[in-house]
Amino acid sequence: MSKQETTKILITGANGLLGSNLARFFSSKKNFDVFRTSLHSSPSGNCIPGDLQDNRFALDLIKRVNPQIVINTVGLVNLDRCEEDPACARRINVDAAVNAARAAGEGGARFIHISTDHLFDGKRAMYSEEDTPAPVNVYGKTKLEAEKEVLRLAPQAVIVRTNFYGWSPPAHPQTFGEWVYNSLKNKAPLTLFTDYYFSPIEVTHLAEALEEVALSYFQGVINIAGTERCSKYDFGMSLCKVFSLDSGCITAGAMDPRAFKARRQKDLSLSTDRFKRLFKKQLPSLKEGLLRFYETRKTGNG
């Protein structure tokens, strides 16, 4: 796919954190014609409302837009809610992905599905794409099922495993990065775990990497994450330094698995070696991501 051609791209879940940022990012590019869909219409009125759990809507949407690329960001990411209502989790995380993938395949569109880092048991670090998944909660199990179904329906699809943070659109519930920032800004006490590890990537860095993938011939599973494994506590302390905020209200704590409905694994970190090898680019470090988070706090949704 040539970067000189205008490419029609459809972003699903366009009112979410990732979807809204992807829509903004690709709309800033002259070589993309961006279409959005979400469960509800957006304040700007440029979003096609509909439910991808409805197969007819998915098929009609693809016929109407006729995209060359579909990036599916739809998902129920609240781990405890998934545990409380597995049927709802499966409808959103699996059925919607299946309908979107099937419709995209029938329409000849390249399908990129956003998955998660919650696919492993967390007993070691920096999981690669070759490692065998062993999810420990309903959320991870439904996301793994979605991966398998997407690849079955669209063998040329791309599965992106990631963990991202950034500025959400108005009225969107605050995500982890925003919660840490807002708590520190307001000098509110917060406890961050020293034994819960991940490798987060700032959302606009993720968007840039997704553009590389979208315009390539890659197919299969790929990790797109930050290059550094850090604890939630490390993340908060690093954010303090970048934003010049007082870290005195942060308390270091250990994760108590009994405090959650859904089981949490201790390590979610992902290896990004495959991305570096294939695209000849290094994904950002924790500091680089937080600097972008700082730079976009006014120009983005924050």
Q: What is the pLDDT of residues 53-79, one digit of tens each?
A: 999 999 999 999 999 999 999 999 999
Does pLDDT of 300 surpass 60? no
Q: 186 lies in a domain? A: no
Does pLDDT of 1 surpass 80? no
Q: 181 lies in a domain? A: no
Asked if 246 and 184 touch (Cβ cutoff 8 Å), the reply is yes
Give residue-wise pLDDT tens across range 250-259.
999 999 878 8
The whole-angstrom separation of Cα 44 and Cα 34 is 14
Q: 247 lies in a domain? A: no
The whole-angstrom separation of Cα 238 and Cα 53 is 39
Q: Residues 73, 270, 120, 264: is their CA dihedral positive or negative? A: negative
Beta carbons within 8 Å of 252's beta carbon, 6+ residues apart: 191, 192, 194, 233
Helix (H, G, I), strand (E, B) or coil at 194: coil
Q: 187 lies in a domain? A: no
Please tell me the total count of domains within the chain: 1
Average pLDDT over residues 92-104: 98
Planar angle of CA 301, 14, 46, nearest 5 degrees: 90
Q: pLDDT over 70 for what percent of the chain? A: 96
| Per-residue DSSP letter, 127 | B
Nearest to 67 by CA among 105, 98, 18, 96: 105
Q: 216 lies in a domain? A: yes
Q: Structural domain of residue 81, as residue ranges?
A: 7-173+199-227+270-285
CATH of the domain at 211: 3.40.50.720
Give residue-wise pLDDT tens across range 158-214.
999 999 999 999 888 899 999 999 999 999 999 999 999 999 999 999 999 999 999
Q: 296 lies in a domain? A: no
Supply the pLDDT for residue 302.
42
Q: 291 lies in a domain? A: no
pLDDT class of 301 with cuts at 50, 70, 90: very low
